[in-house]
Structures are given as C-alpha cells and as structure tokens.
Structure 1
Amino acid sequence: MNRQGDTLPPLDSRLVWRAAEQQDLDEWAGLIARTAAVEQPVWFERRADLEQILESKNNPVAANTILGFDAQGIARAYARVTKNRDGDKATGSGCVDPAWQGSGIGIGLLGWMEQRTRERFAEDAAAAGGVAEAGAVEPHPRLRLYMEEKHQHQAALFAGSGYSIVRYYNEMHRPLNQALPEGVLDPGLELVTFGPALHEPVRLAHNDAFRDHWGSEPRDEEGWGFVVNDPQARPDLSGVVLERSTGTVAGYQLATYDAEGALARGYREGYTELLGVRRDFRGRGIAQVLLADAMRRFAAAGMDVASLDVDSENPTGALALYIKMGYSAVNRSMAWDKDL
C-alpha cells in the first residue's frame, strides 16, 4: 500500500508510452469504448469528445496526456490531467484496457498524473511570477479523481495510493410518463430557449451562480466552449430565464442527450448538464420553472427520463428541490483528493 506522499511505480515497461496525437483518435476512442463495455459507466468519452480535447490550448495534449501501446500498436491504457491556471487542484482521468487490468498499470498511471500535477502547479506559479505578495500562500499541488461507487476496483486503487473521499454526488432520474410539475415565473422574468447569442451571458451567469459551490472554478472561454460545443449538447432542450427589464440572465438549464447511450441502456434520457440561478434571483422559483420546462422539452422530444447529478451537500438546497419534483437517486459517485 502506498501512503500519502510515497512515490508510485513508473509506467509499465511492457507498453510504449507517448502523448496522444491526432493519428491516435481511433485507437484512443477504441480503448475507452472497450473499457466502457465492461465497466458500464454512466458516461464515457467518445471520438467527438477526444477531438475537442485535442484542440485544447489550456491543457494541450502534448504535455497533459499519455497513451500506452502494446507491441501490435493497440492502445491499452491512457491518462489525462487538466487544470485551470488559477485553480487550486488538477483533475485526472483515464482507463486501462480490461484485458490488462490487475497488472499494476493503473498505479503507474496515477504516478504519472501526480507528477504532471506537480509540474502544472510549478508552471502556473512561474507564469504568475511566483508569490506576488509577502506572506501569500502558494497553492500546493492537489489531484482530484472521480469514480462511480460501483467501480470498487478503482476505489481500492485510489485508497491504496493515498487518496481520500472528499465529496459524494447523486445521479437522479425522474420518469416522464408521470404528471409533470408546473412552474410560474414572476411577471418581470421570461423563459427563452438557449442559443448562440446567450453563450457568453450564460457563461458569466454560471460563474456567478457557482461561486459558492464546493469545488467549482470559473469557466473561461475555452472551458465554456467544451460545454456549448459538446457533441451531445441540445440547445433546443435548454432554457434560460431572463430579467425582462435588463436582459440579465437570472438562471439557466443546459441539456444534453446521449443517443448512443440510449441504445445501450434501453431508455432515452434527457440530461441536465448544468442548472444554476444567480444569487440575486434565488428564492423566486426559477430552478423549479427551468426543471419543469426541461421535463416538457424532454417529453416532447420522445425521451423517457429526465436526469441530473447533484452534490450531496449542495449549499442551495437543490437535493430537496429535486426530490420534491419527483427525482430519485439511482447511482452515486464520489470525488477523491490527494495532496501531493
């Protein structure tokens, strides 16, 4: 077992390791799909998602990804680290081909992610010119990993490598074949469909709405581009509440739909990717209106279930609202942290 602070083993020498490249898209996506076919995660990256990752300027793949290939050139493992320049943590992700699991590759990938996290913090500190003021505390490297509760092999790996659970999240479903809830806005507010003209106003509203949420960091233009240009994004199923007199974004519900996942699961799911209400507009039933609107949009599009994820300790009381509106928990995931 590796205690917190111990050095993890190096990458497995049976594989040839290098950063992901454009030419690797098919192999990279194939590795993730093979792993997902066995582990059955709620969501996994597909080729279109990887194409977006390859275009990232804030987290360029040349420095922040690693792919391991066997002697036949088949991708068998990968890891990726992302970090906001001013962020207080890096986030790691990756997978190991099921046929190669249990042989120590995963712990090597953790070691690579931890080292890359240390480097990212050092690079960001250097770019900022070091500690600007006397007495200021420079952020220490921290890596965060996410996993679904059912993936106990990951839990064993994380716990054995010095990580601790810091948060739980509930995946919640709401059947759409039941009576749908109602919601009424104040006369000074209006509900509109999300579209390109609202991309930047909603980004700013999101950063404002989530500034009091645990673990949330502001989304810059590139990070927001990953949201609005997500291959599964459905602006037609997304709503925004505006203040009539000023045009200010009061709240928003951004939806996605995974058509491929629906085939595998056997039901069609409208997923609320992001839901937020600005502080100044809370307590006016806006979230309820947005969710009720989302359910109607989902149902009209032929979907069976409305779904979302919620931090189990959300400070706005969101969990109670979701239960009131008919959502129930169907899955749980957690965030694990390690201070490096």
Structure 2
Amino acid sequence: MPLPLTLPEGYTQRPLVLADAARIADVMAAEELADIGEAAIEEADLVADWSDPDYDLAAHSVGVVGPSGELVAYAEYVGHDRADASVHPDHHGRGIGTALAGWVRAQAAAAGAPLVGMPTPVGSPGDRLLDALGWQVRWHSWALQLPEGATIPERPLPAGYEIRTATAADHEAAWTVVEDAFLEWSERERTPLDTWLHQITGRPGFEPWQLRVATDGAGAVVAAVVIFLADEGREGYIDKIAVRGDQRGRGLAQAMLAEAFGTARAHGAVRSTLSTDSRTGALSLYEKVGMVVTSDWVNRAIRTDA
C-alpha cells in the first residue's frame, strides 16, 4: 500500500492499476494543456510502462480520488532518482501537489535513493511549487517539432551505409547502441533488454517499421531510432535516437532524423516531434534539421536525506 497522504476533506488515495491509464493520461493532458498549450502525453505511453511484467505499479504509484469518485491526481516513483506527478488543473491550490511531492520524496528515501527528481514546464504551477518546496534545478529540457508542411531536409548517408526496419536479429545491437549512448550522460542503471524492448514493441499500436537501424558496409548496426505515432497518427514522435560512439561525426544522426521524418510522414504523420535536454548537448543538431522549440521544461530534484 502506498504511503499515506495528507489530503483535503473529501479526497482519498489508492494504488493505481493498469486500467487507470486512460484517466491518468487525461489528468496529465489537462495539466499539459493548461501549462504549455498542448497535450503531449498518450495513454499508450503509460500502458507501455505500466504493463511491464517486472514493474509493480501498485507499489510505485498513488492515485488521488476526488469527491466525485474520479481520479484527479497521481504520483509515481519510477525508481532510482526518477518520479512523476500530475494534478488536474481543476484541483490545483488545495495542497494535493504538496502532498504528492512529499510522497515521492518519502518513497525514494524508503528505496534508499539519495535524491529524486521530476520534470515540469518552466514557470508552471508545478515548477513554482517544487521551487518553493526546495527542489533544485538539475537540467533543462525542450520539446521540439518539425512543423506540419515543413520540408524534410536531405541528409545523405555515407557510402556503404543504409537505414532499414530492424529485425528481431537486430534488437540486441540496437539496444546496445541506444543504452551505451544514453548512459554517457544519464546517471542510472542500464535498462534490461527485455524491459527496453517491452517499452517499444509492447507499446499499443507498435509496428515493426517504428524501430529502425542504420548499418555500415559490413552490415553492423551503428545507429538506431524509435518512432511512435501520437495524436491519432498525426504526429511522429522520435522517442529514441542514438549513434555508436565510433561512428559519430559522419552525419548519421541527421540522416537518421531525416529518414525518420519521412517514414513517419509516409505512415500518416503530418509533423514530427522529439524532446532533448541540456545533458545531451544535442539541441543544435535538431535545429539543424529544421526543428523548432515548442516548450521548455526543467527537471527539479531534492535530496531525500535532507
């Protein structure tokens, strides 16, 4: 059972179950719409994470039920130093966010994590609340978009290289490329292969073309990109992109991005999006292929032993 919350009169708490994904996505979307003018969260994002057989959702989450009997807020301690929380805008200003921030901190402390953080849009009510509670900025992040109608840039591959749909035989190599790249700047444990694949192939609506790899002249996987369709298929979201360390500086990342934009468009998307943060140093790469920043976010964290 999740740790107890101090909630306003008429509100109660309970652990979440997979069937709550649609309602929590609605809560998160409402808050995103109020904060940044658009909703980026998809129910499929939650289902992919929560349905992992190795993930104990009930132990890692808490939902807040409002007087009407409907979920109006939630928090989730994902593990290590990662958490997330959201309160429907109709229920702001009642102390629910403060209670969830305390719950996240206590959950992380109980798990032995020295600190815990979560993302919020810059200047949003959540950002201001965490700031007031003493949560410090760790890094900034940005959502970017190749807008509808934008010309997809031409970015040719080096001679001998090709981009194609990944096969099952490519999965481990793609995982290795992506995890090696992300762990260069992310302080976390390596995501197990089975978990990594579940987050991709286990996402509702996944099709094989959405996991793509670049190979060199010898057929070795040297880069990978993951594309999800969102907003009822109108958006091609670049969830992951990485190039093997010894293959960088050859234009592979830009070529992979341009190919991903075109592939998403061929499957019905009218725009492409992704997110990046200040730890990667990749913002200029995305701007070079025509993407523009649509929202600014900040990751704030607090020590659990302070």
Q: Which TM-score band applies after superposition, normalised by the shorter structure?
A: 0.7 to 0.9
Q: Does 1:194 align with 2:136?
A: no
Structure 2: which amino acid aligns with 1:191? I
CA 1:90/1:28 → structure 2, altered by over 3 Å: closer, same or farther? same
Aligned residue-pair number: 298
Q: Quote the offset at 1:329 in angstroms.
A: 1.7
Structure 2: which amino acid aligns with 1:243? D
Q: Does 1:280 align with 2:246?
A: yes
Counterpart position of 2:75? 79
CA contact (8 A) 2:29 2:39 kept: no
Deviations 1:245-285 (A, max 9, x none): 2x42200121111134x7xxxxx322211110010111121
Q: Quote the offset at 1:288 in angstroms.
A: 1.6
Mapped to 2, the partners of 1:218 and 1:186 lie a distance apart of: 30
**Which residue of the other structure, out of 10, 16, 19, is the alignment partner of 1:20?**
16
CA 1:232/1:94 → structure 2, altered by over 3 Å: closer, same or farther? farther
Aligned runs of 1:104-119 on 2, under 5 Å?
A: 104-119=95-110
Counterpart position of 1:124? none
CA contact (8 A) 2:115 2:302 kept: yes
Q: Does 1:203 align with 2:175?
A: yes
Larger Rg belongs to:
1
Deviations 1:90-115 (A, max 9, x none): 21112223222101011001111111
CA contact (8 A) 1:253 1:294 kept: yes
Counterpart position of 2:152? 180
Q: Quote the offset at 1:188 in angstroms.
A: 3.6
Q: Secondary structure at the match of 1:307?
A: strand
Structure 2: which amino acid aligns with 1:200? E
Q: Does 1:243 align with 2:204?
A: no
CA contact (8 A) 1:174 1:305 kept: yes
CA 1:154/1:187 → structure 2, altered by over 3 Å: closer, same or farther? same
CA contact (8 A) 2:175 2:196 kept: no
CA 1:31/1:202 → structure 2, altered by over 3 Å: closer, same or farther? same
Aligned runs of 1:1-340 on 2, under 5 Å?
A: 10-12=5-7, 14=9, 15-22=11-18, 24=20, 27-32=23-28, 34-35=30-31, 38-39=34-35, 40-46=37-43, 48-83=44-79, 89-121=80-112, 140-149=113-122, 152-175=124-147, 177-215=149-187, 217-220=189-192, 221-231=194-204, 233=206, 235-245=208-218, 247-260=219-232, 268-315=234-281, 318-340=282-304
CA 1:33/1:302 → structure 2, altered by over 3 Å: closer, same or farther? closer
CA 1:144/1:229 → structure 2, altered by over 3 Å: closer, same or farther? same
Q: RMSD value over aligned CA atoms?
A: 2.7
Mapped to 2, the partners of 1:120 and 1:35 lie a distance apart of: 28
Q: Specify every segment of 5 or more residues in structure 2 that has no aligned partner in the other structure, as ranges.
A: none
CA 1:273/1:28 → structure 2, altered by over 3 Å: closer, same or farther? closer
Structure 2: which amino acid aligns with 1:82? V
Normalising by the residue count of structure 2, what TM-score does the alignment of the two structures yield?
A: 0.85
CA contact (8 A) 1:171 1:310 kept: yes
Which segment drifts farther, 23-32 or 74-83? 23-32
Structure 2: which amino acid aligns with 1:322? Y
CA contact (8 A) 1:210 1:216 kept: no
CA 1:327/1:197 → structure 2, altered by over 3 Å: closer, same or farther? same
CA 1:164/1:288 → structure 2, altered by over 3 Å: closer, same or farther? same
Which segment drifts farther, 172-181 or 204-213? 172-181
CA contact (8 A) 2:8 2:96 kept: no
Structure 2: which amino acid aligns with 1:327? M
Structure 2: which amino acid aligns with 1:74? E
Structure 2: which amino acid aligns with 1:11? T
Q: Specify every segment of 5 or more residues in structure 1 that has no aligned partner in the other structure, as ranges.
A: 1-8, 84-88, 122-139, 263-267
Structure 2: which amino acid aligns with 1:201? A
Mapped to 1, the partners of 2:180 and 2:21 lie a distance apart of: 36
Structure 2: which amino acid aligns with 1:56? D
Q: Secondary structure at the match of 2:111?
A: helix
Q: Quote the offset at 1:238 in angstroms.
A: 4.5
Which segment drifts farther, 172-181 or 32-41? 32-41
Q: Quote the offset at 1:241 in angstroms.
A: 0.5
Mapped to 2, the partners of 1:90 and 1:142 lie a distance apart of: 6
